[in-house]
Amino acid sequence: MRTQELNKTISKLLHPNFGTLAVFCVVIYGLAIFQDYVFSQIKPTAFYWTDTMLYNIYWLLFIPFIKIANSFYNKVQFKSLTSKVLYSLGTGFIFSVLHIFIFTSIFILGSNLIYSVPHRFLTILKNAVSNQLHITIIVYLFSPFVFDYLKRKKQLSKHFQNQKTITVKNGIRRLKIDTFTILFIETDRPYTMIHTTSQKILHDESLKKLGDLLNSQTFLRVHRSVIVNKNHITELKSRKNGDYDGILTNGQFVRFSRHYRENWNELLNH
């Protein structure tokens, strides 16, 4: 069976939302059947609905196997990146082998129930190895890293949603600032100047490091040297060259560079 079209959508199988995962697997199952049908009409070759529906159960098996792989991954405490890589290699190989053998067993069981002359186990096994093994290995090999990344991203998003204050460093002092009061932040080399509704605070670290601590949905990088709190923007005024002047709630102007327009373009329409 050909799998060229399936390669484009297989990465979506790695999403930890297993309701979404199930939908993707079912969609791929349908696409695989449709692909076999189209291929049979182009060649032309024989097309049997029962055969192709039974064979493409292979894609549905990703639903339970990825869920099991993820549950194992969540129970392991990794001491280093090396241990994580070794775990990924080991489980990737084990789950790939199990996936293919269980699929072949299910196919042969179904074949025995449906046909008077069933398919041979070795034939289906070879076919699965030659056509689906590379995709299967990729999925199980990289899924632990994808799970880990999405888990951290979810935790970070939750942190930003609950974020009300930020602690900044000013010499020997540590100051806690209400993020809502921050108007904008600008580079003041080699430091960073934080402009709030009531004061200016010199921060000892770079604009990028400070920006990484703030919610990117609220604090927008609008210039190479400026981050703005979009909740304090009252007006955007064009400079006729692609750049804009942003007027803040305290009346100050901040330049919005066209080179960072992808970060603030939505403000022009909302």
Last residue of a domain, one of 161, 194, 229: 161
* Together in a domain, 51 and 91: yes
Whether 211 contacts 226, CB under 8 Å? no
Residues 25 and 153 placed together within one structural domain of the fold: yes
Domain end among 139, 161, 183: 161
Do 172 and 157 lie in a common domain? no
Lowest mean pLDDT among 160-164, 175-179, 182-186: 160-164
Considering the domain architecture, whether residues 26 and 115 belong to the same structural domain is answered as: yes
Residues 169 and 103 grouped into a single domain: no
Question: Residue 213 belongs to what H/E stretch?
Answer: none
pLDDT at 16: 46
Say yes or no: 112 and 148 in one domain.
yes
pLDDT digit string, tens, across residues 1-60:
444 444 444 444 444 456 777 888 889 899 988 988 888 888 877 888 888 899 999 999
Instruction: Examine residue 85 and state whether it is found in any structural domain, yes or no.
Output: yes
Checking if the pLDDT of 244 tops 50, the result is yes
- Same domain for 128 and 223, yes or no, is no
Domain boundary (161, 189, 207) is at: 161
In a shared domain, residues 55 and 116: yes
Range of the domain at 194: 165-269
Judgement on whether residues 116 and 192 belong to the same structural domain of the protein: no
Distance CA 78, CA 147 (A): 14
Q: What is the pLDDT of residue 17?
A: 56
Same-domain check for residues 216 and 152: no
Confirm whether 213 is domain-assigned.
yes
Taking each helix axis as running N to C, give the angle between helix 62-75 and helix 18-42, from 0 to 180 degrees, rounded to the nearest 10: 140
Question: What integer pLDDT is reported at residue 153 of this predicted model?
Answer: 66
CA distance 120 to 111: 9
What's the pLDDT tens digit per position in 60-115?
Answer: 999 888 888 888 877 777 778 788 888 888 888 899 999 999 999 999 999 899 88
244 and 137 inside one domain: no
Of residues 261, 257, 253, the one with CA closest to residue 225: 257
Number of domains making up the chain: 2
